Structure 1
Amino acid sequence: MPMAASEIEAMIKAALPDALVEITDLAGDGDHYAARVVSETFRGLPRVRQHQRVYEALGGRMGGVLHALQLTTATPD
């Protein structure tokens, strides 16, 4: 069963409360999303670790319930 964009956003915000999260359904199928996550908690972390923090927030759903997530992370300007 596909994940709703609102569920992805809620899970990320629960783990990263200060995050600005934008989710886009790339294929209209609830399986292929793009996410842009901006959080102060990413400051000083390498990009790989930033992405790991987001994947951790999704609680192991990547590759299963959530098939694909094109991820962009950043710190606030």
Structure 2
Amino acid sequence: MATPTKDRSHWVVKKFTSHDDLRTYGIKEWQKLSGAARRQAAWELVYDYCVGVKGMNPDELRLQKTVTRIRRNVG
């Protein structure tokens, strides 16, 4: 089964002369984004890694809570 590819035609290609320049550029670009856009980008990274690399089921990528105790009302 072929893995679908994402459209990356809108990506900007830049050349940097040092790692410091690259880091400064990355920070400025992230700061331009809204909080929602940052969360969306972070979620896409998590999703792509867990599903694409680790082979996890997408249903596993949700908040989960472990039940630690069940208490019965006596009364």
TM superposition score normalised by structure 1? 0.28
The structure, 1 or 2, with the larger RCO (C-alpha pairs under 8 Å, 6+ apart) is 1
TM superposition score normalised by structure 2? 0.29
Q: Which one has the bigger helix percentage?
A: 2
Give 1 or 2 for the bigger CA radius of gyration: 2
